[in-house]
Structure 1
Amino acid sequence: MKKMKQTLIAGAVALSAFAGFAVPAAHADVAASVGVSNMYYWRGYDLGGGAALTADVNVSGSGFFAGAWTSSGDETLGTEYDLYAGYAGEAGIFKYGVSVVSYNYPELGGEDKIAPGDYVEIIPMIGVGPVKFTYYDAVAAEVAPLNNEDYSYATLELIFDKVSFKYGQHMDDGDTTSSHLDATYKYNDKLSFTVGTLIDDGDDPEADDAAFVVNLSLPIE
């Protein structure tokens, strides 16, 4: 298993490099945005750091994409920035894609700092019509508290123009540890509202079982 995950990480690095060079600059689309939310809502949980400020920049073309995303609002790990790359496409009603994301937490400091490559997920996605399935597999988890390579997360979404529903499931070595259900209303391209509730909070009886999230995102032009 460890050898297979090392192979996946090597493939992810290759994908990141290829995504960075495969699209000629003349054909690349560059987009950036800033946003604010009343909380950092992560996979069914309020991370407890209050209002979250976000920013991102993304380069895409010919199906490939790469970029960076950052957010405040994580009470435990502090400011986060993510580096990602991937490929996505579609054929008729079918959609598919795969991406690699490195999650980084520089505010932890010292040996606890989670730097690029310390925590990495490989994320394949497939969709048919309004239904989308996404799987998140931790292939590198080097530094506590994000040091569990047996962790994975999966979502099943039903997506319409204005409304979407998401079921998310956290797993440890294939066993479900917690799950949640979200409903999102997209008022427009900038403003959305989400109501989320934990269906099963695993071994954390003190976790909030419901959340109301307001998210505003503004493009930088």
Structure 2
Amino acid sequence: MKMKQSILAGAVAVSAMASAALAPVANAEVSASVGAANMYYWRGYDLGNGDPAIWGDINVSGNGAYAGMWASSGDASAGTEYDLYVGYGSSVGDFSYDFSLWTYAYPSTKETTADLDTGSLVQESTPTSPGDLVEFITGLGYGPVSVTYYHGLEDLDEYWYATVGLSAGDFAFTYGLHEDDYAHFDIGYAYNDNLSFTLGLVADDADFGVSDEAKFVVGFSIPIE
């Protein structure tokens, strides 16, 4: 019940965000989709420890402004996730730009602690709500080249992540670098509008003992009319 209440609160919040962002827009467009992948691949990491992920999203947009919610079955440690976002993007000739604000919520997060009296491990619920974890994202592009910078706010204020990308037809090449010097290189291929493949390679494990094994991701999405 608590997770359903959190998701409902997220839906209400994103509705308010969308109304504020798109108030001047007379004909806003609404889109939604659902999808699945063989792993929860995030910025060079497999957050699901090999488990598949199911996700869905809803987006409201118009005149460059947009807002929406993205939800996923979650990662192995943080559990079910939903994200709320609002942003604006446009282009001038070959130059494009996009600015967005995201907040990440994990309503089912569990924290394991030790009971000193019994010596047993106890799991306590420590959910995060919208506004606890916030990130501002800046994206710039020129033709097929793009640069994106992610910077944490609130409890993520010491975190940043950056990517450099190149698109070539149905292929996409991305180099990503975390603030702790962990780096990865991804090769993506869009077979069609629904089916995509990604090969993730570790470029620098930053001596964290991260597995150097390549990650092969198969993703499938379906738009909801």
The question of a shared fold, defined as TM-score above 0.5 by the shorter chain, is answered with yes
Deviations 1:96-133 (A, max 9, x none): 01000001100016672111000000001110000010
Matched, 1:137 2:151: yes
Query: After the TM superposition, which of the residue ranges 154-163 and 201-210 deviates more from structure 2?
Result: 201-210
Q: Tell me by how many angstroms 1:140 deviates.
A: 1.5
Relative distance call for 1:62 and 1:77 in structure 2 (3 A) is same
Question: Structure 1 segments of 4 or more deviating over 3 A?
Answer: 15-18, 206-209
Displacement of 1:149 after TM fit? 1.7
Q: Which residue of 2 aligns with 1:105?
A: 106
Structure 1 stretches lacking a partner, 5+ long = 1-14, 142-147
SS of 2:181 mapped into structure 1: strand
**More strand per residue: 1 or 2?**
2
Aligned partner of 2:25 in structure 1 is: 23
In the TM superposition, 1:185-204 aligns within 5 A as 185-204=189-208
**Structure with larger Rg:** 2
Q: Distance in 2 between matches of 1:196 and 1:124?
A: 23
User: How many equivalent residue pairs?
Assistant: 196
Distance, in Å, in 1 between the alignment partners of 2:212 and 2:82 is 25
Alpha-carbon distance, 1:86 to partner: 0.2
Q: Percent identity over the alignment? A: 48
- Residue 108 of structure 2 aligns to a residue whose secondary structure is helix
Matched, 1:44 2:44: yes
**How high is the TM-score relative to the length of structure 1?**
0.83
Q: TM-score, normalised by structure 2?
A: 0.82
Higher helix share: 1
Matches of 2:158 and 2:213, distance apart in 1: 25
On the 8 A contact 1:51/1:73 being kept in 2, the answer is: no
Unpaired runs of at least 5, structure 2? 1-16, 111-123
Counterpart in the other structure of 1:177: 181
Query: Cα 1:117–1:111, aligned 2, differ >3 Å: closer, same or farther?
Result: farther
